[in-house]
Structures are given as structure tokens and as C-alpha cells.
Amino acid sequence: MELDSPDVLHPPGSALPAAVQPRTSAELWAALDQAPNRALHARHVGEALVRLGLLDERQLREALHAQKNLRRAGQARPLGELLVERGVVGASQLRQAIAAWLGHCVVDATHYTFDAAALPLVPRALAERESVVPLALRGEELAVLMADTLDHALLDELRFLTQRRIVPVLAAAGTLPAVLSRAYDQPPAPPTPDLATKASAGARARPAARELLADLQQAADVGTEPQADVVSESDNTLVRLVHTIIEEAIAHKASDIHIETEPPPKPVRVRLRIDGELVKYLEIEARFRHALVARIKIMAGMDISEHRKPQDGKIDFARFGGPRTELRVVTVPTAGGLEDVVLRLLAGSKPMPLDTIGLAARDLAALRRMALKPYGLILVCGPTGSGKTTTLHSLIADINTESRKIWTAEDPIEITQPGLRQVQVNPRIGWTFAAAMRTFLRADPDVIMIGEMRDEETARIAVEASLTGHLVLSTLHTNSAPESITRLLEIGIDPFNFSDSLLAILAQRLVRRLCKQCVRTRPARDDELEALAVHYLEPTTPPGQAPDVGTQIERWRQQYGVDDGGRRIVRAYDRQGCPACDGRGYKGRLGLYELMLSDDAIRHHIRHRSPAGDIRASALAAGMHTLRQDGIDKVLAGLTDLAEVIAATNV
């Protein structure tokens, strides 16, 4: 908030109001009812801070003057933020002062007896993620303990989830973590009779999906035939079941949910894709298949009466009380008049720093050098789900400065970051990648990111833009960096323009990462190192010539070896399986990369439409490391295993 200079300030107070320490919900509501009457009669937060004795008039005038100068420079900042940054007041002091000024109550709930009617309204996962604790329920009012009572997005989410009017309560400094842990780790006291009668039937802790499924089956069995389709898509238990499936998929960091229907009596199978691998999650009786699909269609805004044609839509899960996650939904008609559903989870995440995505030091430095060029074309290629969008956003974040105007056209927008102008394309209305490119070129860009080069028109405009003073980044669905060149030439790109515009092509794959909790380390055997060396040297060994295995192994001993009784040994890493990785031995994923830089030889190949094999040979001669070589380096570093690398690079 921006403030004008005050005229006359009242004499300052001596200290912040003491935190209320209620022990029961009745005491809490009494304190909350009195809080607005104790609000500071100050015109703005600066005056409130002076009245509370947290700063003097001179400090306030200096802060207001600094704020005014920043505003003139186009860098407006809230007064409180400036004061905290200058060390005049602490962050917790500022929050308490604002609470006193607005009439919010500051509560120390260390010895509070939690309300059994209030706690189940906010699931533990949400409470821990957002640092909130529901304290007391009174009719339609829910008092919630928070770290920031001005977080309006969180207040809206809680209001939608609980269907109650939220009364924000500021937690006393340093008390919230312990209060949150105690609230959900011990059983709450029984509710008082008046509150118990007013608590809604839906105000129970959300059970796990299997428990909800058992409730659904038990309810459907009462007075009905066992195989009858008796459950409606609006059934309360079914609604909560779908919600819980999505919530648990998010908790498992799944990328997709697959719902596969079969003719009776075969059950509906629900599988999650975790770290790139499908795992069995749940089986649901066949009689619920139509209601289950219909419920998802309703959430995604689809036509529930259409079963013969595929449909696609999206779900903003926050609208249904869940975390801020968008799901892309597609229904596919299958045999017997049934439909399968696939939900792709798109958590609105932030870009990863470029130096944390797994690029080797040599490739990281080269890619950064290319990204600082004023114009040209940089491509990232790989199959669907290989992390291309993540890499592009990491690269853009590395060059996202005040001096650059960056436009992006994406479908969908999976990652957001400040400073970008991001556009969601919509082919249904003619707003395609090519149309977005043409518009961007009229909007004074420095950098343009195109989510995907799908056709000749988009590729041609991108090449032309890269030749007219713009840095263009995009993705391709190709297997390797050299193949990307032949693919673009095949769809009709002018080879001379393309050769002049291309800066670099980065191919990538994702492999599963070894679980750090249970991986076992041992000395690598000689035959294992020899097999690795053969795989590593295969791309660069001329036909008919034996690879220099011994020299390569010696390089690895120097790079990855550890001292063991006077000699350097290379370690091998074996996966085991533990509760942390659900017995799989893998947890998380990492990237394998192949960076091809454009040089005179590559440009010559492009102009003469050389085959991919010739382009690959020239790139290797110039020092390019293949996907498999990068993967083997990560095997020796203990990040993944050879089976994952071979499977991902077997092209």
C-alpha cells in the first residue's frame, strides 16, 4: 500500500498488544468479538507502527521518502516491506502491528483445546502446506489460525473448501508450527452440543480413497441389485472419491491419472504414472463406471451425454477445494460403448534454476553462451513428457531481465514466472502458434518462446523471426539433435535461412533417479566398467576399429574414483527398495542431454540437405556428447543405473 506523508501523529504507544491465550473455543470467540473494538484508530500502517512504538516519526518520514522515490522510478514497494528490509521492524512485528490496526486478534494457541467440529473441515495436507489451523466453528463462521491474515488467495480457497465465512486469526510469533503439529497429532476434545448439531454432514476428515470406495459400495448394496448402475455422478461419496483420487495423485507427485473402464464384471482400473512408470492404484466396481466418468466430465466442463466421440477439457482443482493444480482431461471411447479417461496433472510450478536440471558443466556453459546471443534459433527436442518445457523455462529464467521483453506461446501454460508475457494458444478459434508468432513480431519482442513447432508455417515464421533480430526458442518431437535438422528440412524450411538462424539443438530424455535412502554402494567390477566403456565409446569409434576401453576406464578412475588402499576404484550403485521409494529403488527423475552447437560444418550439412548420420558424425567430431554418454556419466556419479539409460537412449 502506498501512503502520503502524515500531518500530525499521535504519541506513540509502548509495545505491541499482548497475544490472547484462550484455552477453549468459548474464550476464543469472546476475544474475537472484542478485537474490532480494540483496533488502532490510525489512518495507515505507518501511523499504526508509530503509535505502537515500533518506529519514530523520523524513521517513518525517511521510509516514506524512499517509497516515493521508488514509485517515481517505477519500482513501487509497500511501506512495510521497506521497513523490514531496512531492519527497522521485524517481519513478525509488522504482521502483529497490521493485525492490531485492522482489528484482527493475535492468538497464542499453545494450550488451546481444539474444536472437533472445526478441525476436520481443513484436511491435514492443506493445513501443513499453507500453515493454517482451524480453531473453532460457530454457525457459519470458522476461526482459522494463520501466519498471514492478509493472504486473500488462501482465504478464498478456505472459504470455498469449507463453505464457511472465514475469521482470520494471526498466530503469535513462533507458535504456529507446534500448534499445527499438536492439532492433527492428538484427538480433539468432543464438540459442545450446540456446535455438534450445527456441523454439516460433510464436515468430516476426508478419508482415503479406499475407505471412500468401501463406503460407496456399502451404500450401493443397500436395497439394490449388485450389478445395477445405482450411483449418480452427484452422489456425495462419489464426489469425495474423485476428489481424493486427484489429491492422492498430487501427493504422490504423479504426472497422469489413467481411468480404464471394462465391461462388467471386470472392475474399473485406476493407475498413476509416477516418475514415468504406471503403477496400480485402485480398482472400482464396474457398476460405478458411468457415474465416475460423468463426475469427471462435469468437473472438466464436458458434455456428459456424449459417449461416442472423444472430448477434452480442463479442471481447475482449486475451484473444488483442492491445491492449486490444473488437470488436462481427455476422454477416449473404447469398445462396448465405454470410455477411458486420462487426467494430466499440471501443477503451476516455478522454473528450476538452469544449473540444477542436470546439464554437464560443458553443456551448461555452452547453452548459456548461446542464450545470450541477440538473435538466432535454439531448439529443445525429445518425446512427449521428456521435460522439454521445463528446460525451456529454466533457460528463459536464466536470461529473464528487466532489459528483455519475452513473449511465450504455450499449450498448455505449465510453468509461470514473473516478467514473461505468456499466451495460451487456442487452435479452435484460430489462435495457433503461427498466429501468435505473427502477433508477437508486432509487439516489440527480444525473446520469443514457441511451445512447439508443429507445422511448416510455424517453423518458417520462427526462422524468419530469428533472422530479424529476435532470439527464438522452441521444441520439437524428434529423437536426437541431428534428426531435428532433417525433420525441419523435410517439412519445407528453407535450408539457407535455417542454416544461418540455428544456434543450438538440445535433445533430452528423463530417467528415474536412484533412491538416496536405500541405494547400495560397492566397488565396480572390471567387467562392468568394460561394458560401460564399450557403450560409451561406440558412437565415436570408427567402424572396424576396437574401442580404447582401457584409456576410458582410466579417465573414469581419475574423474569418479575414490582412494582405496593406494589405488583409485570406481564405485557401482545398486538399487534396493525402501518405504521412501515404495520399494521401487527409484525416487524422482533427472535429465539426460545431448547438445549440438551449430558451426561451419553443421551449416554446410544443412545447406546441402545431408542425412542425419553425416550431421551426427560432424557434431561428434566437434565434441558433442550423446544422450547415452551423458547417461553413463550419471551412472558413474550414482544418480541412475545403466538399465534406465539404455531404455531411454535406445534409439
Same domain, 368 and 506: yes
Which pLDDT value is given to residue 76?
65
Residues 527 and 643 in one domain: yes
pLDDT of 188 higher than 50: no
Single residue among 326, 345, 364 that ends a domain in this structure: 345
Same domain, 396 and 489: yes
* 193 found inside a domain: no
Q: How far is the C-alpha of 643 from the C-alpha of 511, rounded, in Å?
A: 10
pLDDT band at 636 (very low <50, low <70, confident <90, very high): very high
User: For the segment 14-67, what is each residue's pLDDT rounded down to a tens digit?
Assistant: 455 667 888 888 888 888 877 654 445 556 666 666 666 667 777 777 777 777
**Mean pLDDT lowest among 49-58, 191-200, 510-519, 595-604:** 191-200
Distances (CA, A) of 502 to 112, 361, 363, 461, 490: 65, 22, 17, 14, 16
Q: Which residues have a Cβ under 8 Å from the Cβ of 85 and sit 6 or more positions away? A: none
Lowest mean pLDDT among 92-101, 420-429, 496-505, 621-630: 92-101
Q: What is the mean pLDDT of the segment spanning 349-358?
A: 85
Average pLDDT (456-464) is 93
User: Is residue 385 a contact partner of residue 276, using CB atoms and an 8 Å limit?
Assistant: yes
242 and 379, same domain (yes or no): no
Residue-range definition of the domain harbouring residue 563:
513-588+624-649
Q: What is the CATH number of the domain that holds 313?
A: 3.30.450.90
Residue 225 reports pLDDT greater than 50: no
Cis bond upstream, residue 412 (ω within 30):
yes
Q: Are residues 316 and 375 in the same domain?
A: no
Q: What is the pLDDT of residues 556-571, one digit of tens each?
A: 999 888 887 778 889 9
Buried b / exposed e over 324-345, threshold 16 CB at 10 Å, is ebbbbbebeeeeeebbbbbbbb
Domain tally, the chain? 4
What is the per-residue pLDDT across 255-294, written as a single tens digit (0 to 9) for each?
Answer: 999 999 998 888 999 999 988 888 888 899 888 888 899 9
Please tell me whether residues 377 and 446 are part of one structural domain. Answer: yes
**What percent of the chain has pLDDT above 70?**
82
121 and 92 fall within a common domain: yes
Contact 76, 2 (CB under 8 A): yes
Percent share of the chain, pLDDT over 90: 37
In a domain, 238, yes or no: yes
Residue environment code for 284-318, b if the CB has 16+ CB neighbours within 10 A, otherwise e: bbbbbbbbbbbbbbbbbebeeeebeeebebbbebb
140/250 same-domain check? no
**Among the three residues 345, 369, 386, which one is the final residue of a domain in this structure?**
345
376 belongs to a structural domain: yes
User: What is the structure's pLDDT at 84?
Assistant: 67
- The DSSP string of 237-286 is HHHHHHHHHHHHHHHTTEEEEEEE--STTSPEEEEEEETTEEEEEEEE-G
Rounded Cα distance, 168 and 106, in Å: 10
Mean of the pLDDT values across residues 356-365?
Answer: 92
- Do 256 and 148 lie in one domain? The reply is no
Please give the average per-residue pLDDT across 386-411, as a whole number.
92
What pLDDT shows up at residue 497?
94
First to last CA, the chain: 57
| Domain annotation covers residue 13 | no
DSSP state string for 112-163: ---BTTTGGGS-HHHHHHHTEEEEEEETTEEEEEES-TT-HHHHHHHHHHHT
Are both 276 and 304 inside the same structural domain?
yes
Q: Per residue in 77-88, pLDDT tens?
A: 666 666 766 666
Whether 218 is covered by a domain: the verdict is no
Least confident of 162-166, 394-398, 461-465, 634-638: 162-166
Cell (9 digits) for 255: 504426472
Q: Does the N-terminal peptide bond of residue 187 adopt cis geometry, omega within 30 degrees of 0?
A: no
Residue 34 in any domain: the answer is yes
Using CA atoms, how far apart are residues 110 and 107, in angstroms rounded to an integer?
A: 9
* Average pLDDT over every residue of 306-327: 86
Q: 371 and 308 in one domain?
A: no
- CATH at 429: 3.40.50.300
**68 domain-assigned:** yes
Q: Point out the domain boundary residue: 305, 321, 345.
A: 345
pTM over 0.85: no
Q: What is the CATH number of the domain that holds 164?
A: 3.30.300.160
My answer on whether 39 and 154 are in the same domain is yes
Is 619 contained in some domain?
no
Neighbouring residues of 476: CB distance < 8 A, sequence distance ≥ 6 = 379, 380, 381, 452, 453, 484, 487, 488
